[in-house]
Amino acid sequence: MNFAEWGFWQAMLETDEDRKNDKEIEKKYGLKEIAAYEYEDDESQKEAQQRASETPRTRGPVYALDQTILEIRCGMLEAKRGLVTLFSLAIITFASITTLFSIYFLARMLNQLSSQTPFDFFATIPIALYSTIAVATFGIYFKYGYHLSRLEMFTSRHLLIRFNRKTQQVYLHRPSYCGGIVTLPWKGVTSSGSSENTAIADGIGVPLLLYWSPRVTGTLHPEGAWVGKAGNNQAELRDEWEFIRRFMDEGPQGLPRPRITSHFPWPWQAFTPQFEGLTHYFRRASRTTKVGLLLICPAFLIIGLGHWLSLLLCWKPRWPKLIRQAGLPGKPIPPLTTLADRPPHIQERLRANAHLWTVRPGKRPEKKPRRRRGKSEVGQS
């Protein structure tokens, strides 16, 4: 499911009016904007160049690995896809059935007229009724629901990230509504698996995050990618990151050979992701909780079915020829993505919002300790 990536890209393009509404929500719920500083960004980049684990391994899914490239599945909520597909297919099926009913009654009326049967006005009622329902359902769906369906279906089957050792570049494969295909430099990347300072939620239930600040991207906004499976702990994410780091900095020699996954949508590729990042909870859960989890297994099967249907209704992602040939002898190195590569209206929004992502110089100012009022001061007030 591409919901997180779609939301991230929409935040990059948000209008001033939407931004104003966001600030009102932040003020209402006491949320504060966290600014980024150069010192922290530099430290995160340095930590990403250091060894993070002694047991590098990737849990995949890995789609390609050789002396030049490493390609892994991306996506923050990839394991959760399925519900949107089920709801979308239910709406499409309902609208299709009403369309068939209207066609059936229309054909029956035309057959009666051809047999010189007297015209029956009431025969037009079911035709008008079912046609109205079908047109209204399809109209509302394509206006308000189709763009949500494309977060799981009628789009690329997976988000991908490709690492190229020869060019020292990283390529992100995403639909256009999630930021599109971009080329980023390897140098300057930061990772949630490189240190405790950059860890997220102790690695439980989230994939490995790779992040490029606006200082690195050159596109006036940051870029990010959630790589691989959701983690059960921070150690798994450190191992995953160390596998990627060693591949890019030292080569595939000495790294454990991962299982290469096919792009074909086999059923088990849809059902097993439902349990990604849950081993931590299963091991520590009480007996009552484990029984409850067994009772809701049918729900996992239903979501898994929706996941599989979403994979069947998508197509295999394909890289541009320039990226496919990158690193081969005599082939050009893909240029890094710049602001000029975006359409004019996208460039306008990115320029307008550039100040929101600007990395501030120096260090983050230290928080001033809050002065606690003494009893005498309280009494005087």
Residue 376 has pLDDT above 60, yes or no: no
Secondary structure (3-state) at 163: strand
C-alpha span between 61 and 57 (Å, rounded): 12
180-189 average pLDDT score: 97
Mean pLDDT taken over the chain: 88
Query: In this predicted structure, what is the pLDDT of residue 33?
Result: 60
C-alpha span between 247 and 163 (Å, rounded): 9
pLDDT band at residue 380 using 50, 70 and 90 as cut-offs: low
Task: Spell out the alpha helix ranges (H) of the chain.
Answer: 3-12, 16-28, 38-48, 83-114, 124-140, 146-149, 214-217, 234-249, 268-271, 279-284, 287-295, 297-312, 321-324, 344-352, 354-357, 375-380
329 Cβ neighbours under 8 A, 6+ residues apart: none
Residue 361 burial (C-beta neighbours within 10 Å; 0-12, 13-18, 19+): exposed
145 with 286, same domain: the answer is no
99 with 39, same domain: the answer is no
**Range(s) of the domain holding residue 164:** 3-82+153-357
- DSSP code of 273? G
166 with 22, same domain: the answer is yes
Residue 372 has pLDDT above 70, yes or no: no
Query: In this predicted structure, what is the pLDDT of residue 177?
Result: 94
C-alpha span between 156 and 74 (Å, rounded): 12
> Which uninterrupted H or E stretch holds 159?
strand 159-164
Q: pLDDT tens-digit profile of 45-54?
A: 999 999 999 9
236 with 287, same domain: the answer is yes
Spatial contact of 126 and 109, defined as CB atoms under 8 Å apart: no
Query: In this predicted structure, what is the pLDDT of residue 27?
Result: 60
Whether 259 maps to a domain, the answer reads yes
Residue 297 burial (C-beta neighbours within 10 Å; 0-12, 13-18, 19+): exposed
Query: In this predicted structure, what is the pLDDT of residue 35?
Result: 76
Spatial contact of 202 and 221, defined as CB atoms under 8 Å apart: no
Residue 220: name the closest of 334, 357, 45 by CA.
Answer: 357
> Which pair of structure tokens corresponds to residue 370?
């809050």
214-242 average pLDDT score: 93
- DSSP code of 184? E
- Structural domains in the chain (count): 2
267 with 133, same domain: the answer is no
Q: pLDDT tens-digit profile of 100-153?
A: 999 999 998 888 777 766 767 777 899 999 999 999 999 999 999 999 999 999
Residue 368 has pLDDT above 80, yes or no: no
Percent with pLDDT over 70 in the chain: 89
Residue 30 has pLDDT above 60, yes or no: no
Q: pLDDT tens-digit profile of 162-179?
A: 999 999 999 999 999 999
Residue type, 121: F
Cis peptide leading into residue 61 (ω within 30°): yes
Selected residue with higher pLDDT from 368 and 10: 10
Whether 371 maps to a domain, the answer reads no
Secondary structure (3-state) at 108: helix
> Which pair of structure tokens corresponds to residue 190?
């930061």
Return the sign of the alpha-carbon dihedral for residues 18, 19, 21, 22: positive
Query: In this predicted structure, what is the pLDDT of residue 56?
Result: 96
Whether 101 maps to a domain, the answer reads yes
- DSSP code of 274? G
207 with 335, same domain: the answer is yes
233 with 349, same domain: the answer is yes
Q: Which residues pair with 65 in a beta bridge?
A: 70
Length of the chain counted residue by residue: 381
127 with 31, same domain: the answer is no
232 with 105, same domain: the answer is no
24 with 60, same domain: the answer is yes
Whether 200 maps to a domain, the answer reads yes
> Which pair of structure tokens corresponds to residue 127?
């035709």
105 with 32, same domain: the answer is no
Q: pLDDT tens-digit profile of 61-112?
A: 999 999 999 999 999 998 889 999 999 999 999 999 999 999 999 998 888 7
Pairing label, strands 169-173, 182-185? antiparallel
Percent with pLDDT over 90 in the chain: 66
Query: In this predicted structure, what is the pLDDT of residue 29?
Result: 45
pLDDT band at residue 23 using 50, 70 and 90 as cut-offs: low
Query: In this predicted structure, what is the pLDDT of residue 26?
Result: 60
